[in-house]
């Protein structure tokens, strides 16, 4: 249905302006919500709740209809926002405006102050780009135009739910769908033909990478027609920022302290890491200097951690390093603790204010030009950087820091093991508690409360620093949404007769964890058991794989998909991503995916293993372990052979396994894995306790 004729029924709610996206989502869940409204349960058959943080007074839990419009649920109607944006587009001579998801560091997850795409579109997913057009021929008082949101298969359902009637959804990678770059250029070309004028496509040059800028230019060139003029132009003052404060209060500036991470967790000193980077610059890159804007690269290199972006222990910064060991860090040094100040001074690192980076590029690049020295930049660096440089530079796909960071040293790998042991203990406590609440106590637990209880178990673990991302706590059909995010007042009560999926991670000083488990608390259907087992077989096959060096992730992606493929089934996301060491959840330059833009797997890489299957509107299945690459000790024709070691310590779901679909070897793999979990975790539980008995049952042998 076209945007021009689409009708949306609107309902008036007290004290809010619910978007159609919210209304449609609410309507789809209405049958579940009706069961929650004015619902009172007194006590439980077992005589009380065992929840660790009970908030129910006298065994009564009441949820009334007002929670449908909970104050902390951020829902918008974008009409006036788009109108305001088109007005400032006109003032700046822009007919098409691109709003990326990224910040100027091209981070996957961004702070509230950088969530411009979410502000203008209402879509809260972490990946996507918004494109807004302005009809330059329109004489209407309110500017006309189109608005489109492009995202990938992980977010199709979420975007459909969250976008209001103003927006078109461009399904990135779907058959017959243009890329968002093609769609944008096509719109600009049409505007140019209609108006007879040159059409400018505007974007904040700090927010798109060099590689994306070059790709966009090539799309324009490929569609160029005689007499039609379209150009991608930089708009230095971000247009979304110009209107944002008219609709929402500005986000506060980060003020938390930036701290040093002890060498007992990093395994290398700052000096050792700088030496390694300089060695790569000289021997491999043949360059004299490097510009670094990736926040996790800087945090890793300097053994520093911050909290400027939720769930990511990084801080806003840029860094320039040269082969004469001259290093300049652009960061807010008024937030350094004493240890950080001492560490920077000890390593001769000059610290300048964060905002000085853009002003410093011209003089620094002129120094490189005068001394005939080559500067290195990553293709993920901002377009604005090369616009400011006054010296020759060379582009590389991956920063040498990212290459080094991806290879975990023995200390980091031991830290990953400790972190997953702690996190496994917390998840086991949580799953045993949740099953007991739902099945034995017959209690009502919603997805948010379950998440809160899991977090409470994590908090008691030593060196816990926070969550890795907003936990995906999903029951039934919600589990089919790959990046589902439960919202207070809109989430579902967990139904024990349906599949429950929890995708969850934590930050410990020791390392970063990322685990997904799919469970069933009563009697799953045969279809659910069969599909779970197909996913499990893929997880086992990949985890058990031995492979030669120089193997890319896309070589082995099909290992995890083969059993689903045999039944004409598949999943729409990658199979594995790199994992940081008390850093980001998704860490390049490695991955296991059909895409071929990842580096070869190397010894010491820490990576996830997460095949899945999703039955839209019914249930979702995903099983995720974290594992690292290690040597088998074997070689063939001079090539080393590698294998994976899994560090995740949470059992698979017995009830969902169809043993008839498993080979003897797969059963042995499961039994061996469960035996390790039992031996490592059960001693920390009181014998006969709820979690002890649950773990004993779930790690029992499959025969």
Whether residue 512 has pLDDT greater than 90:
yes
pLDDT score at 231: 96
Q: Rounded CA gap, 588 and 597, in Å?
A: 10
If one counts the domains in the chain, the total is: 3
Which CATH number fits the domain that encloses residue 516?
Answer: 3.90.230.10
Confidence of residue 52 (pLDDT cuts 50, 70, 90): low
Alpha-carbon span 272 to 294, nearest angstrom = 20
Say if 250 falls within a structural domain. no
What domain range includes position 664? 410-698
Rounded alpha-carbon distances, angstroms, from residue 95 to 88, 185, 200, 239, 532 = 10, 11, 6, 12, 49
From 190, 215, 244, the end of a domain falls on: 244
pTM score, two decimals?
0.87
- Compute the distance between CA of residue 486 and CA of residue 363 in angstroms, rounded to an integer: 49
pLDDT at 8 over 70: no
pLDDT value at 479 more than 50: yes
Domain contains 357: yes
Average pLDDT over residues 672-678: 98
R_g of the chain computed on alpha carbons: 26
Judge whether 42 lies within some domain. Answer: no
pLDDT at 489: 85
Average pLDDT value for residue range 265-279: 97
Q: Are residues 238 and 269 in the same domain?
A: no
Pair 201, 348 in one domain: no
Closest CA to 60 of 443, 496, 438: 443
Same-domain status, 363 and 488: no
**pLDDT > 90: percent of the chain:** 78
* pLDDT score of 166 more than 70: yes
Give the residue-averaged pLDDT of 265-287.
95
Burial-class residue 175 by CB neighbours within 10 Å (0-12, 13-18, 19+). exposed
Lowest mean pLDDT among 7-11, 241-245, 363-367: 7-11
- Spatial distance between the Cα atoms of 426 and 420, rounded to a whole number of angstroms: 10
What per-residue confidence (pLDDT) applies to 75?
52
Q: How many CB atoms lie within 10 A of CB 396?
A: 18
Residue 59 inside a domain? The answer is no
Indicate if 487 and 535 belong to the same structural domain: yes
Statement to judge: residues 225 and 296 lie in one domain: no
- Residue 220: what pLDDT? 95
Q: Residue 485: its pLDDT value, please? A: 87
pLDDT in tens, 115-133: 999 999 999 988 999 999 9
Please report how the helices 210-222 and 180-195 are oriented relative to each other, as an axis angle in degrees rounded to 10: 50
Same domain? For 497 and 376 the reply is: no
The residue among 206, 355, 387, 381 whose CA lies nearest residue 290 is 381
Report yes or no on 133 lying in a domain: yes
Same domain, residue pair 109 and 189: yes
Give the pLDDT confidence of 580-604 residue by residue, as tens digits: 999 999 999 999 999 888 999 999 9
Judged against a pLDDT cut of 70, whether residue 6 lies above it is answered with: no
pLDDT at 24 over 50: no
- The answer to which of 9-13, 195-199, 314-318, 620-624 has the lowest mean pLDDT is 9-13
CATH number at residue 118: 3.40.350.10
pLDDT at 596 (0 to 100):
81
- CA of 567: how far to CAs of 168, 639, 699, in Å? 33, 35, 28
Q: Examine residue 50 and state whether it is found in any structural domain, yes or no.
A: no
**Sign of the CA dihedral 527, 532, 536, 538?**
positive
Residues 535-553 have pLDDT tens digits of: 999 999 999 999 999 999 9
Let me know if residue 577 belongs to a domain: yes
The arithmetic mean of pLDDT across residues 314-329, rounded, is 95
User: What pLDDT score does 64 carry?
Assistant: 33
Lowest mean pLDDT among 48-62, 127-141, 649-663: 48-62
Check whether residue 366 and residue 455 sit in a common domain.
no
What is the pLDDT confidence band of residue 285, given thresholds at 50, 70 and 90? confident
Q: Is residue 581 part of a domain?
A: yes
Per-residue confidence band for 21, with pLDDT thresholds at 50, 70 and 90: very low
215, 244, 273 — which closes off a domain?
A: 244
pLDDT band at 67 (very low <50, low <70, confident <90, very high): very low
Boundary residue ending a domain (404, 439, 454): 404
Q: Does the pLDDT of residue 47 top 70, yes or no? A: no
- Provide the CA 585 distance to its chain's centre, in angstroms: 7
- Quick one: 385 and 414 in the same domain? no
Give residue 198's pLDDT band: very low, low, confident or very high (50, 70, 90): very high
What's the rounded mean pLDDT across residues 405-434? 98
Same domain, 428 and 444: yes
Residue 334 CA, distance from chain mean position: 30
Question: 588 and 690 in one domain?
Answer: yes
Contact 313, 583 (CB under 8 A): yes
Confidence of residue 227 (pLDDT cuts 50, 70, 90): confident
3-state SS of 197-210 is: CCEEEEECCCCCEH
Residues 434 and 393 in one domain: no
């Amino acid at each position: 249905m076209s945007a021009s004729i689409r009708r949306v029924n609107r309902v008036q709610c007290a004290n809010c302006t619910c978007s159609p996206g919210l209304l449609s989502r609410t309507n789809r869940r209405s049958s579940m919500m009706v069961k929650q409204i004015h619902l009172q349960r007194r006590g439980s058959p077992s005589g009380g709740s065992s929840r660790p943080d009970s908030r129910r007074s006298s065994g009564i839990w009441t949820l009334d209809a007002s929670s449908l419009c909970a104050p902390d649920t951020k829902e918008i109607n974008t009409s006036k926002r788009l109108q305001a944006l088109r007005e400032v587009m006109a003032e700046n001579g822009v007919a098409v405006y691109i709003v990326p998801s990224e910040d100027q560091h091209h981070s996957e997850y961004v702070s509230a102050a950088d969530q411009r795409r979410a502000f203008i579109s209402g879509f809260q997913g972490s990946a996507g780009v918004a494109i807004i057009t302005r009809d330059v021929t329109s004489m209407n008082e309110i500017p006309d135009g189109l608005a489109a949101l492009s995202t990938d298969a992980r977010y199709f359902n979420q975007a459909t739910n969250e976008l209001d009637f103003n927006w078109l959804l461009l399904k990135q990678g779907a058959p017959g769908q243009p890329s968002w770059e093609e769609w944008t250029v096509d719109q600009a070309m049409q505007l140019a033909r209609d108006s007879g004028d040159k059409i400018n496509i505007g974007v904040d040059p700090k927010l798109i990478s060099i590689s994306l800028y070059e790709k966009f230019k090539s799309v324009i060139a490929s569609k160029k027609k005689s007499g039609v003029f379209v150009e991608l132009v930089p708009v230095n003052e971000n247009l979304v920022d110009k209107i944002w404060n008219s609709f929402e209060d500005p986000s506060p500036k980060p003020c938390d302290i930036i701290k040093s991470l002890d060498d007992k967790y990093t395994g290398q000193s700052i000096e050792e890491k700088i030496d390694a980077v300089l060695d790569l610059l000289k021997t491999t890159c043949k360059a004299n200097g490097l510009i670094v804007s990736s926040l996790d690269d800087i945090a890793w290199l300097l053994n520093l951690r911050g909290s400027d972006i939720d769930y990511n222990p990084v801080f806003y910064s840029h860094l320039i390093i040269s082969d004469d060991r001259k290093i300049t860090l652009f960061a807010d040094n008024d937030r350094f603790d004493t240890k950080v100040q001492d560490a920077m001074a000890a390593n001769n690192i000059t610290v300048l204010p964060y905002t000085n980076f853009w002003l410093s590029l011209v003089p620094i690049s002129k120094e490189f030009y005068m001394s005939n020295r080559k500067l290195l930049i990553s293709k993920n660096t901002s377009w604005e950087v090369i616009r400011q440089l006054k010296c020759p530079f060379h582009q590389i796909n991956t920063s040498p820091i990212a290459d080094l960071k991806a290879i975990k040293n023995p200390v980091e790998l031991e830290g990953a093991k400790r972190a997953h042991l702690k996190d496994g203990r917390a998840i086991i406590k949580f799953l045993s508690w949740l099953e007991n609440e739902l099945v034995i106590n017959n209690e009502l637990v919603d997805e948010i409360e379950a998440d809160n209880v899991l977090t409470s178990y994590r908090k008691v673990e030593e060196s816990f620093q926070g969550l890795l991302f907003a936990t995906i706590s999903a029951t039934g059909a919600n589990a089919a949404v790959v990046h589902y995010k439960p919202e207070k007042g809109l989430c579902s009560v967990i139904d024990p007769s349906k599949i429950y999926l929890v995708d969850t991670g934590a930050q410990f000083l020791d390392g970063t964890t990322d685990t997904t488990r799919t469970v069933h608390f009563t009697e799953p259907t045969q279809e659910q058991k069969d599909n779970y087992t197909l996913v499990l077989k893929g997880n086992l096959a990949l985890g058990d794989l031995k492979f030669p060096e120089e193997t890319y992730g896309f070589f082995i992606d099909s290992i995890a998909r083969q059993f689903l493929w045999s039944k004409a089934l598949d999943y729409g996301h990658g199979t594995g991503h790199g994992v940081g060491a008390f850093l980001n959840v998704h860490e390049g330059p490695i991955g296991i995916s059909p895409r071929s833009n990842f580096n070869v797997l190397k010894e010491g890489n820490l990576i996830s293993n997460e095949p899945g299957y999703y039955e839209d509107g019914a249930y979702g299945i995903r099983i995720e372990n974290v594992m690292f690459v290690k040597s088998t000790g074997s070689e063939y024709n001079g090539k080393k052979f590698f294998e994976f070691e899994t560090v995740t310590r949470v059992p698979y779901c017995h009830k969902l396994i169809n043993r008839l679909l498993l080979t003897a070897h797969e059963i042995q793999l499961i039994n061996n894995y469960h035996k390790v979990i039992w031996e490592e975790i059960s001693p920390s539980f009181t014998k006969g306790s709820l979690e002890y008995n649950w773990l004993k049952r779930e790690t029992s042998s499959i025969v």
